[in-house]
Structure 1
Amino acid sequence: MGNFIIVIPIICFCFVFPISKIKAETDTITHFQSLSKNQTLVSKNGEFELGFFALDNSTNHYYLGIWYKKIPGQTIVWVANREKPATNPNFVLLIINNTTNNTLLLSHNNNVVWSVSVARKPKNPVLQLLDSGNLVLREQNNDDENEEKNYVWQSFDYPGDTLLPGMKLGKDLRTGFVRRLTAWKNKKDPSPGTFNWEMDVTKWPEPMQRIGSMKQFSSGPWIGVDYGSKPTRKNPSTFEYVYFSNKDEVYFSFYLLNNNSVSTRMVLDQATYRRLYLVWINSDQEWLVYNSLPRVFCERYGVCGPNSNCDWDKSACDCLRGFRPNHTGGCLRDKPLNCESDGFVKYVKMKVPDTSNCLYLNQSMNLVECRDKCLRNCSCVAYANSDIRGEGSGCALWFGDLNDLRTLPDAGQDLYIRVPASELETKNGRKIKIGIAVGVTIGVLCGLVLVFFLVRKGRTRSILKDRSKEEQEEDPKVPLYDLSVIVSSTDNFSHKNKLGEGGFGSVFKGTLENGQRIAVKRLSSGSGQGIKEFKNEIALIAKLQHRNLVKLQGYCIQNEEKLLIYEYMPNKSLDFFIFDQTKKRVLDWNTRFNIILGIAKGLLYLHQDSRHRVIHRDLKASNVLLDDEMNPKISDFGLARILGGDQTTEITRCVVGTYGYIAPEYAIDGNFSVKSDVFSFGVLLLEIVSGKKNRGDQHQNQNTNLIEQAWNLWIEGRPLDLISEDFKESCNGSEALRCIHISFLCLQQHPHDRPSMSFVIMMLDSEICLPQPKQPALFVGEYYSSLNKSNLISGNELSMSILEAR
């Protein structure tokens, strides 16, 4: 029979040796002692404490755990019985040492709460809490208490949601034993959630974060000096990051270098799906988050799809050379490889691809030998050094699709990707052409330019027509979901999963089988959006790819259901924060200004940088969603319109949008353009700065809307009085004043007086002199009452895209 660690009630002790409780502060108990509910073990230097605790003052759920002794607030770093709390206060911790087993005891009503097998039996066992936070079972007469080889059992082998300095994240290759982190379900429940982190033991191991079984973030493999992704760290000299690998085990760990008195830990946070690096700042008496992963768009695993590279600086995806976009995501090869005549394109500052389909060769091989090895294998698609120190050494080869590629701003390594010979010829041909062009005389060059413009003048319109026709004929391949999958993911559209409601229907939160969270927009049968608008939204969003636009994941048309599946935004929509008296305090000025910039960049993409000129026509606070980093994403394209060719305006007899955001020329004459969106942006800008709705009962004068109130303060010389009191302390006065000034420029009565979104961004992001605004359009209260409200399809200010945080 094996040896176990368990807990049993104090009233059930029946042993052949006496048991005594500890009487003073100590770091150990022997098999003659016990630890009850109101007693603790304290490590030798007082760093950590072991004892029993309840969450939220619960009286019927008790846990055995370890926390920091010197830090207030009982920061828990380890829980023994995280999946099975004790429900009775009559429990005790002790060691049984007899002829059959060694056991730590913790149970109630004769029910075992927690048990752990031990490999061997010490003669005189002692349980000790170390200053590292490690709880160990060892031989009492062994003086070397910090030697891991002498431990019969240790808590460091069974981490919860926290990695402490010296703990290992990895795998014992002899036994298959895995040391992984799993987040708490929530702050009130320490049982394992879906967010986890472990070492992926491939041919070239790499730490991997997952949500359920879905990969979420990879640090990349160890490349000799650091892990391959090398995220920027605020205090890189404070810690030593370790990678160890041999035939017996592979693991990651970290240590403090110089200041052992600083408390630090890594924690998995289920609420945000991030790994947090935390340091205790004693002077401030709080934990400082000095890093969190993933942080940016490009760090999300496989965000660009196979064979596509994510540029860190641009937060944008590009196909690798020799590949073209695939409508289902990622990129496909333009031309097949030839094997005999292929070559390689060099990419620098790269995080190498996922190593699950990588062959890791010996460390003595140089880069030339590695290239030859890949070239001789027709299935090899990329190669790189496995150690970048010095001139580089070792060899890693990849086969199949290349996943999770990204260009890093200040680190990474060289990666060589296989391409057909034609791609290499194209590159060389371009170099030759450039050389010839440089050598051409000024006179000849001018002649060529003149000919170019003469030809272009006659052909431009034809080219634009051909291109427009070609793009219109494209059929974007958006994934089609089966209704049963969506019904299952939303629990049959249950009320508990309902996120919001708007003019076209309701939005529900869903979770797919792989753990991916989605937002499902369910169009109501009586909504104004029919099949035409539905297909318009699918076709439009599928072609729009920008970090400040919400991403369409798929759709479903089945039976009577019309469903759109979007990426899930955990922080709901902007109106959820700025118009709520309590939640508006969450958004300080820097966050608000970043949201303003993000919305502006999203609109600029729609108006100018996308393949089509897109007018949103329903920009408002409830249609701006916020991701887990409070980055804005414009959503809800059901009312959007595409302008073709040189077209800049269009007229409609059906005015759609939301009361309070619609431009005057659109509301009155049905004339909409990109400047209509600029007007809506101006309204939104004032709402973000003031924390007030453009229309609503919060204004003292019911006949005065927000625009008029702001303009009155402007002409009175008191524009900063508009700023919400909730963030005045964090507010940058000059930036806020600039935003108010820009809002008036966007709210001009005539469209031609409003700036373009490119100029808006320039004004927001620089100190250029701003033009003086004329009186903005103050028509809202005067004219909207005469409009036929049935024409305002989105008259309800509640949005179907309001998402609820988990």
Structure 2
Amino acid sequence: MLNLVIASDTLSPGQSIKNGERLVSSGQSFELGFFTPENSQYRYLGIWYKFSPEKVVWVANRNNPLSDLNCVLTFNDERNLVVLNRSKSIIWSSNSSRVLRNPVAQLLDSGNLVVSDNMSSHSGEWSWQSFDYPTDTLLAGMRMGWNLKSGFEWRLTSWKSTDDPSCGEYTIGINVNGLPQIEMLRRGSTKTLRTGPFNGFGFPGDPSTKSTLFKPWFVYNETYVYLEFESSRYDIFTILTLNQSGLAQRLLRKRESSTWEVMTSSPHDPCDHYGRCGANAFCKRNEEPKCQCLQGFVPKSPEEWQLFNSTSGCIRKAQLNCSQKQGFLKLSMLTLPDLIDFWINKNMSLEECKVECLENCSCTAYANSDARGGGSGCLMWFSDLIDIREFEQDVQNIFIKLSASELGLQSQKEDIDLPLYDFSTIAVATGHFSQTNMIGAGGFGSVYKGNLSMGQEIAVKRLSKGSRQGLEEFMNEVLLIAKLQHRNLVGLLGCCIEGEERMLIYEYMPNKSLDYFIFVWKSRFNIVLGIARGLLYLHQDSKLQVIHRDLKTSNILLDADLNPKISDFGLARIFGGNEREARTRRISDVFSLGVVLLEIVSGKRNRGFRHPDHQHNILGHAGPWSFYMNLYATPFIASQVERCIHVGLLCVQKLPGDRPTMSSVVFMLANEEAILPQPKQPSFFMERVPSSTEASLIREDLYTRNIVTITMPEGR
């Protein structure tokens, strides 16, 4: 005869639980027994909260109910836990593959019913546990996910109705195809909700994993992929349930409370419904209409969109064609699309991913697969982009492939009379913009050395993404330098405009810029003369009248023969018409040349120089010419040095009207017989000079433009 056990937390062979009897966990949190749902005539074995019997968290025989009260839970001869009906037929069994000598079933205070040998407290020694077979509720410590080695899955399945715990229409679990995603399915195949993919931090768009009342854990390795949580407070119970209507709800209840409160519910709003806006569109949570096509796409059915039915999605304005130029549109503050037709490589960088997507005609978008540490890995899509929503955090960007015309690049390219390079070509040439190939950096980007496939060495100036000022200067430089050619101007070989990428491809200057060599190079006169001739070409001899406006030693490059090349035309301007105004503005370049000239002769930087006896900079030594002669200790031709000093001081005179034109500068430098006027006060004092019409013209535009000067605006 079987012994009856009431109000205990364990069950051993020879003991049983009958209708009306229960196991109670040691902490009085959970009970196990037989129950009948409201408006039902069937009996089920289940587990519920002791203080909330209506909240059933686990059902053993959910798809095989008992039709009478003659039911019993016990161990059979095979040491399996079983539910028997009136005729002693097995209605449900734990069906453990491990055979135990002295099995004991115990209801833990976590709500887990476990079977072990001699009440082992170690989970690894349990032959069976109810946590491995969740129904519609995820308790603290339960898993939702996969054992990848065994192929075993933990998944929630809704009740069929409030009075029928059999498997309902909805399931929620983790899809491990590619990157983990939380998915809710209806009838086993129709997606109704999706969060993810997992980006290294979590599942973007999942509200059920954010709270101070519990700590979510996500395990992702070669053996396991699962989500679980633990409670942060012993007096508060939290659970995740999936109801028969397809709502995944995070519920909360204090031990002394009489009701359960809903913390979160998913789907929470229309944007949470899977594919709410169809293909190639995104859903806006706080705006109407909810749906908007991605840039470069239009509604597939405009009539339906006008009726606020956007499930048909969007199609491209211009179809992608591998024979035409393409680029990428960067989108942020959005969830990534569903992983349907995709490819993943966790070892690639974002730049390598971009090149791979450009070279693959079927690729429609790409992103990092892992958002941690600034991003890593490559994720590419090859078809329509489904289920994109606004997201409040900007942790992961996606780059949508579009034709050049849809990116607004075609009009720019048509205005540029230069060869256009593919991004992939430049990426390969620079070793995917590796740090070892970086040869310079500035406010608007970095400069890389590269080698084209034919062996030509190039220098690539890559504009920083998102720089509005840099973009304007990029276009200015491209349009100007493409129309200018001179042996003392840097040669522009071409440019690259794809997506957000803006790059200038120059001839490579192996000797870097003048500010690097100014203190060690002894053959300086030819550099001075070359710079002057380059400026004269810009001001007078080119088909355009160009004012450089940013002349300094760092913007003068040296080729293999140490010939100077003026570069960086981002601030340059074309002037014509008003000759007086144009001359006034050209004088600013003359001043800059004077500073560069004096720096070359003295071997000292204007901005960094300080004399031990006073605070004058290089320009403050206009009077004692011996100062420059003493600094210049290397062999030289005295007349050339004196002439350079003299011309340099003429260029930096305080009043702009006293400064020579570039044609005069070149003439004075190149002709030893030229008679040079006596230079006046240089522009280095901080005193105020009476304003003139000419000085006023300069004040408006040049005070903050030329970084080599330290004067007040009236002094220029």
TM-score, L = length of structure 2: 0.54
- Distance in 2, matches of 1:169 and 1:116, equals 20
> Aligned to 1:236, which of 207, 211, 216?
211
Note closer, same or farther for the CA distance 1:198–1:20 as it changes in structure 2 (3 Å cut).
same
More contact order relative to length (CA 8 Å, sep ≥ 6): 1
In the alignment, what sits opposite 1:307? 280
1:689-714 C-alpha deviation (Å, 9 max, x unpaired): xxxxxxxxxxxxxxxxxxxxxxxxxx
| Residue deviations 1:237-269 (CA, integer Å, cap 9, x gap) | 22222222233332222222x313311111112
The alignment partner of 1:56 has SS state of: coil
Residues 86, 108 of structure 1: 8 Å contact kept: no
Q: In structure 1, which of residues 176, 179, 182 is the aligned counterpart of residue 151 of structure 2?
A: 176
Give the superposition deviation at 1:183.
1.0
The one-letter code sitting in structure 2 at the alignment partner of 1:121 is V
1:154 maps to a residue whose letter is Q
SS at match of 1:113: strand
Q: Distance in 1 between matches of 2:237 and 2:331?
A: 39
Question: Partner letter of residue 74 of structure 1?
Answer: E
Other-structure match for 1:317: 291
Once residues 427 and 90 of structure 1 are traced to their aligned partners in structure 2, the CA distance between those partners, rounded to angstroms, is: 80
Counterpart CA distance in 2 for 1:136 and 1:122 is 13
1:121 to 99, 103, 114: 99
1:782 maps to none
Contact residue 218 and residue 225 of structure 2 kept, 8 A? yes
Shift of 1:32: 2.6
After superposition, the C-alpha distances for 1:333-364 in whole angstroms (9 at most, x for unaligned) are 222223363211100011100113232322x4
Residues 381-780 of structure 1 aligned to structure 2 (within 5 Å): 381-411=364-394, 413-426=396-409, 429=412
The amino acid across from 1:152 in the alignment is S
CA shift, 1:232, in A, is: 8.1
1:596-636 deviation per Cα after TM superposition (whole angstroms, max 9, x unaligned): xxxxxxxxxxxxxxxxxxxxxxxxxxxxxxxxxxxxxxxxx
Deviation at 1:427, TM superposition (A): 8.4
Shift of 1:57: 7.0
Note the C-alpha offset of 1:281.
Answer: 3.4
Instruction: Determine if contact 1:182/1:192 at 8 Å carries over to the other structure.
Output: yes
Pair 1:238–1:385, CA change in 2 (3 A): farther
Structure 2 distance, partners of 1:163, 1:260, is: 17
Matched, 1:349 2:330: no
1:44 CA drift (Å):
1.8
User: Of 267, 272, 278, which residue of structure 1 is paired with 2:251?
Assistant: 278
Residue equivalent to 1:132:
110
Find the aligned partners of 1:120 and 1:296 in 2 and give their Cα distance.
47
Over 3 Å counting, the alpha-carbon distance change for 1:309 and 1:427 in structure 2 is: farther
Give the structure 2 partner of residue 160 of structure 1: 135
Is residue 2:317 matched to residue 1:334? yes
Aligned counterparts of 1:391 and 1:196: Cα–Cα separation in 2 = 34
What is the DSSP-based 3-state SS (H/G/I as helix, E as strand, rest coil) of the residue aligned with 2:101?
A: coil
Q: Deviations over 1:88-131 (max 9, x none)?
A: 21221111245xx6343432223332134212112211111111
Deviation at 1:297, TM superposition (A): 1.4
Amino acid in structure 2 at the alignment position of 1:72: S
- d(CA) in 2 for partners of 1:154, 1:195: 23
Alignment partner, residue 644 of structure 2: none
Once the two structures are TM-superposed, the CA of residue 73 in structure 1 deviates from its matched residue by 4.1
Corresponding residue for 1:72?
Answer: 52
Cα distance, 1:67 vs structure 2: 0.4
Match of 1:656 in 2: none
| Correspondent of 2:267 among 294, 304, 311 | 294
Going from structure 1 to structure 2, the CA distance change for 1:166 and 1:428 (only over 3 Å counts) comes to farther
| Deviation sequence 1:508-527 (CA, Å, 0-9, x none) | xxxxxxxxxxxxxxxxxxxx
- Distance in 1 between residues matched to 2:124 and 2:208, nearest whole Å: 35
Alpha-carbon contact 1:205-1:355 (below 8 Å) kept: no
* 1:173–1:247 CA contact under 8 A, matched in 2: yes
Cα pair distance change 1:83/1:121, threshold 3 Å: same
Contact 2:344 2:378 in 1 (8 A): yes
User: In the alignment, what sits opposite 2:33?
Assistant: 51
Q: Measure the CA separation in 2 of the matches of 1:242 and 1:72.
A: 27
Q: CA deviation at 1:428?
A: 7.6
- Residues 350, 412 of structure 1: 8 Å contact kept: no
For the pair 1:365 / 2:338, whether they are aligned, the reply is: no
Q: Identify if the C-alpha distance between structure 1 residues 395 and 261 changes in structure 2 by more than 3 Å, giving closer, same or farther.
A: farther
Who is 1:765 aligned against? none
Cα distance change of structure 1 residues 229 and 64 upon mapping to structure 2, 3 Å threshold? same
Distance 2:405 2:216 in 1: 43
Distance 1:201 1:428, change over 3 A: farther
User: Any idea what SS the aligned residue of 1:259 has?
Assistant: coil
Contact 1:91 1:107 (8 Å CA) reproduced: yes
1:284 offset after TM fit, Å?
4.3
**2:62 is aligned with 1:82:** yes
SS of the equivalent of 2:322 reads: coil
Q: CA deviation at 1:283?
A: 5.3
Secondary structure at 1:345's aligned position in 2? strand
5+ long unaligned stretches in structure 2: 302-310, 416-467, 474-716
TM-score normalized by structure 1? 0.48
Distance 2:207 2:32 in 1: 34
Deviation readout 1:290-338 (Å, 9 max, x if unpaired): 1100111111100110111112221521111222211281111222223
**Is the contact between residue 162 and residue 244 of structure 2 (CA under 8 Å) also seen in structure 1?**
no
Aligned equivalent of 2:86: 108
Shift in Å at residue 279 of structure 1? 0.2
Aligned counterpart in structure 2 of residue 203 of structure 1, from 150, 159, 178:
178
Question: Post-superposition shift, 1:207?
Answer: 1.1
Judge conservation of contact 2:138–2:240 (CA < 8 Å) in 1. yes
Q: Could you tell me the percent identity over the aligned residues? A: 38
Matches of 1:410 and 1:174 in 2, distance apart? 34
State the one-letter code of the partner of 2:365.
Answer: A
**2 CA distance for matches of 1:25 and 1:312?**
50
Would you say the 8 A contact 1:313–1:409 is kept in 2? no
Counterpart code for 2:243: D
Q: In the alignment, is residue 91 of structure 1 matched against residue 71 of structure 2?
A: yes
Q: Please tell me whether the aligned partners of residues 107 and 114 of structure 1 are also in contact (alpha carbons under 8 angstroms).
A: no
Three-state SS of the structure 1 residue aligned to 2:357 is helix
Aligned twin of 1:606 = none
Mapped to 1, the partners of 2:230 and 2:364 lie a distance apart of: 37
User: Contact (CA 8 Å) 2:235, 2:255: kept in 1 or not?
Assistant: no
- Looking at structure 2, the residues matched to 360 and 119 of structure 1 have their Cα atoms a distance apart, in angstroms, of 38
Name the CA distance, whole Å, in 2 between partners of 1:220 and 1:181: 18
Residue equivalent to 1:254: 229
Tell me the CA shift for residue 195 of structure 1: 1.7
Corresponding residue of 1:767: none
Cα distance, 1:25–1:428 mapped onto 2, change above 3 Å: farther
Q: What is the CA distance between 1:287 and its match in structure 2? A: 0.6
Q: Report the residue type matching 1:297 in the other structure.
A: P
Identify which of 190, 194, 198 aligns with 1:222. Answer: 198
Residues 379 and 188 from structure 1, CA distance in 2 versus in 1: closer, same or farther, beyond 3 angstroms? same
Q: Does 1:151 align with 2:131?
A: no
Whole-Å Cα distance in 2 between the matches of residues 371 and 50 of structure 1? 56
Tell me the distance in 1 between the aligned counterparts of 2:318 and 2:175.
Answer: 33
For 1:177 and 1:125, the matched residues in 2 are separated by 24
Amino acid corresponding to residue 87 of structure 1 in structure 2 = S
Q: C-alpha separation between the residues in 2 aligned to 1:229 and 1:410?
A: 9
Task: Give the letter aligned to residue 337 of structure 2.
Answer: P
Deviation at 1:368, TM superposition (A): 1.8
Contact 2:80 2:94 in 1 (8 A): no
Long gaps (5+) in structure 1: 1-17, 440-806
2-structure distance, mates of 1:183, 1:386: 32
